C-alpha cells in the first residue's frame, strides 16, 4: 500500500504543477491505471497540450522511474469526449468517455510503446 500511496502523491504533485485533474486511479488485472485529464470545463488554457499535458506526461514518466523505480506506459491523445455524470440517482460517477479516451488506453497498452505514445492530434499541437 505504501507504493500505491507514493504513486498517488507523486501524481497529484505533478498534476498540480500544470493544473491537470486525476480522474481515476484503478488497480486491476492490467496493473495500475491512472486517467488524467486536461481541459475540462473551467480549466482550459491556451497551448494546453504543448505547455501542460505533454510536459506532465514527460515529468510523471520520469518521476515514477527516478523516484519510485516504477516503469510506466503513457498514452496521450487530444479530442472531444463526454465528461459528466453517468449512472442513476443512487449510484453514479463522473466519467470521461469517447474515442480519444479509448485510443489513449490502446496507445498505453501497445507493445510498441517505448514509454510514451501520442496520437496525431497531440503531435500536430506540439510541433
Amino acid 31: pLDDT: 85
For residue 28, the model assigns a pLDDT of 85
Q: What pLDDT score was predicted for residue 39?
A: 84
The per-type count for the chain, helices as H runs and strands as E runs, is 5, 6
- Mean pLDDT of the chain, nearest integer: 92
Burial of 8-41, coded b for 16+ CB within 10 Å and e otherwise, reads eebbeebbeebebbebeeeeeeeeeebbbbbbee
Grid coordinates standing for 26?
Answer: 484503478
Write the pLDDT tens digit of every residue in 49-80. Answer: 999 999 999 999 999 999 999 999 999 999 99
For 95-108, how does the pLDDT look when each residue is reduced to its tens digit (9 = 90+)? 999 999 999 999 99
Residue 40: predicted pLDDT: 78
Does 8 score more than 90 pLDDT?
yes
> Is 80 exceeded by the pLDDT of residue 30?
no
Amino acid at each position: 500500500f505504501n507504493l500505491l500511496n507514493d504513486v498517488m502523491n507523486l501524481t497529484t504533485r505533478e498534476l498540480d504543477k500544470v493544473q491537470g485533474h486525476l480522474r481515476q486511479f484503478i488497480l486491476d488485472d492490467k496493473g495500475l491505471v491512472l486517467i488524467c485529464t486536461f481541459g475540462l470545463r473551467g480549466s482550459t488554457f491556451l497551448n494546453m497540450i504543448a505547455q501542460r499535458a505533454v510536459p506532465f506526461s514527460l515529468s510523471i514518466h520520469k518521476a515514477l522511474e527516478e523516484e519510485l523505480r516504477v516503469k510506466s506506459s503513457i498514452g496521450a491523445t487530444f479530442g472531444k469526449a463526454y465528461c459528466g455524470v453517468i449512472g442513476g440517482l443512487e449510484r453514479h460517477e463522473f466519467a470521461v468517455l469517447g474515442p480519444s479516451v479509448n485510443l489513449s488506453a490502446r496507445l498505453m497498452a501497445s507493445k510498441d510503446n517505448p514509454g510514451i505514445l501520442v496520437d496525431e492530434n497531440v503531435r500536430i499541437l506540439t510541433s
